[in-house]
């Protein structure tokens, strides 16, 4: 019986402490509102000053423009491209505009107009964790102070990626192979064309045999067409040897992405209001101590 009474006393104490806690919070909130209301002109004045400072800060920040481009990679690992872009992003973040201008083959003045660069793999979430992402679309998001530079930044970034020593070497090897095949096909087509001319318009004695086999004009025309198709396909491959191709480029920007006036004013007004409340509480505390 005594244990039950003790438990009831403990529960009552807990509820009493909880009641006192919430009562104390209520009194503090009430005191806060009363103090702010008493010094409302002071708090309002400080808030207005904060708004003015926020607008001044906004007017001093250069407007910037953000746009993105999508690149399609050849049969190469995306992490190689990501490593190149990450190095370029680090140089931009450090303000190393001399190196940025050298890598992108642009002027240092143009490089200084780059505020930020971000990049991402579009298919990153579609592959398994242990898989290697290869030949996937890549997105580059660029933030510039000068919106007119977006057009020139497309070839600059593409050439920067293409000029990778490994990529450039592989491209040259494949280019020589394709050009050699095209040259060989052209020679064979030229030889067949000469034979077709001799068959169609013979000059001198013609016995209708080549290397002991009778000449069939139909087969010659068919072979010529097959070789020509192979030549056209190889010439198309020669045009598509780039390791990086632009799918969608940067879009022209008329309105700046930032800074946001509403955001500057909201942050400055809130900060100034908090400062005003602190000043009001400090003045009221001094006033109470003097009266005491």
Which pair of structure tokens corresponds to residue 60? Answer: 């001093």
The mean per-residue pLDDT over the stretch 122-148 comes to: 72
Q: Give CA–CA dist 131/141, Å, rounded.
A: 25
Burial 224-246 (b: 16+ CB within 10 A, else e): beebeebbeebeeeeeeebbbee
Which pair of structure tokens corresponds to residue 104? Answer: 């992108």
Q: Give CA–CA dist 263/272, Å, rounded.
A: 14
pLDDT of the residue at 73: 75
Which pair of structure tokens corresponds to residue 15? Answer: 């509820």
The CATH number, out of the four listed (3.30.70, 2.60.120, 2.60.20, 3.40.50), of the domain defined by the range 65-164:
3.30.70
Determine if residue 119 is left, alpha or beta; phi over 0 gives left, psi from -120 to 50 gives alpha, anything else beta. beta
Neighbours of 99 (CB within 10 A): 16
State whether the Cα torsion 219-223-224-229 is positive or negative. Answer: positive
Q: Give CA–CA dist 292/253, Å, rounded.
A: 64
Q: What is the DSSP string of 30-67?
A: HHHHHHHHHTHHHHHHHHHHHHHHHHHHHHHSPPBEEE
Q: Judge contact between 242 and 162, C-beta under 8 A.
A: yes
Short-list 247, 253, 245, CA closest to 67: 253
- pLDDT tens figures, 194-243: 766 665 555 545 444 444 455 566 777 777 777 778 777 777 666 666 67
Q: Judge contact between 50 and 271, C-beta under 8 A.
A: yes
State whether the Cα torsion 21-22-26-29 is positive or negative. Answer: positive
Which pair of structure tokens corresponds to residue 35? Answer: 């103090």
The mean per-residue pLDDT over the stretch 37-59 comes to: 93
The predicted model scores a pTM of 0.65
Q: What are the domain boundaries of the chain? A: 2-60+261-291, 65-164, 170-198+209-242
Highest mean pLDDT (candidates 118-127, 210-219, 247-256): 247-256
pLDDT of the residue at 141: 93
Whether residue 163 is predicted with pLDDT greater than 50 in this model: the reply is yes
Of residues 142 and 211, the one with the higher pLDDT is 142
Q: Judge contact between 209 and 215, C-beta under 8 A.
A: yes
Strands (E), the chain: 65-73, 114-121, 138-144, 209-210, 213-214, 244-248
- Write the CB contacts of 145 (distance below 8 Å, at least 6 apart in sequence): 62, 63, 64, 65, 113, 114, 115
Per-residue pLDDT band for 288 (boundaries 50, 70, 90) equals: confident
Q: Give CA–CA dist 131/52, Å, rounded.
A: 54
Q: For residue 114, which phi and psi values (nearest 5 degrees)?
A: -85, 120
Q: Give CA–CA dist 108/95, Å, rounded.
A: 11
Whether residue 96 is predicted with pLDDT greater than 50 in this model: the reply is yes
């Amino acid at each position: 019986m005594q244990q039950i009474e003790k438990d009831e006393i403990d529960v009552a104490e807990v509820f009493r402490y909880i009641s006192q806690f919430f009562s104390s919070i209520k009194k503090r909130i009430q005191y806060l509102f009363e103090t702010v209301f008493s010094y409302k002109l002071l708090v309002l004045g400080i808030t207005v000053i904060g708004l003015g400072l926020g607008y001044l800060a906004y007017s001093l920040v250069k407007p910037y423009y953000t746009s993105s481009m999508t690149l399609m990679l050849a049969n190469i690992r995306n992490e190689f491209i990501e490593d190149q872009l990450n190095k370029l992003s680090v140089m931009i973040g450090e303000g190393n505009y001399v190196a940025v201008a050298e890598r992108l083959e642009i002027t240092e003045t143009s490089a200084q107009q780059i505020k930020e660069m971000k990049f991402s793999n579009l298919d990153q979430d579609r592959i398994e964790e242990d898989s290697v992402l290869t030949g996937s679309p890549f997105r580059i998001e660029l933030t510039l102070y000068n919106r007119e530079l977006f057009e020139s930044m497309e070839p600059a970034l593409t050439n920067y990626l293409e000029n990778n020593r490994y990529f450039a070497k592989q491209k040259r090897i494949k280019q020589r192979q394709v050009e050699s095949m095209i040259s060989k096909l052209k020679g064979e087509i030229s030889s067949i064309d000469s034979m077709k001319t001799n068959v169609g318009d013979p000059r001198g004695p013609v016995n209708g045999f080549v290397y002991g086999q009778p000449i069939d004009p139909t087969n010659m025309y068919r072979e010529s067409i097959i070789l020509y198709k192979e030549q056209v396909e190889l010439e198309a491959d020669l045009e598509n040897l780039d390791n990086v191709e632009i799918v969608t480029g940067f879009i022209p920007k008329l309105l700046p992405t930032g800074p946001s006036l509403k955001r500057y004013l909201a942050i400055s007004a809130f900060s100034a209001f908090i400062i005003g409340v602190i000043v009001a509480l400090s003045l009221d505390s001094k006033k109470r101590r003097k009266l005491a």
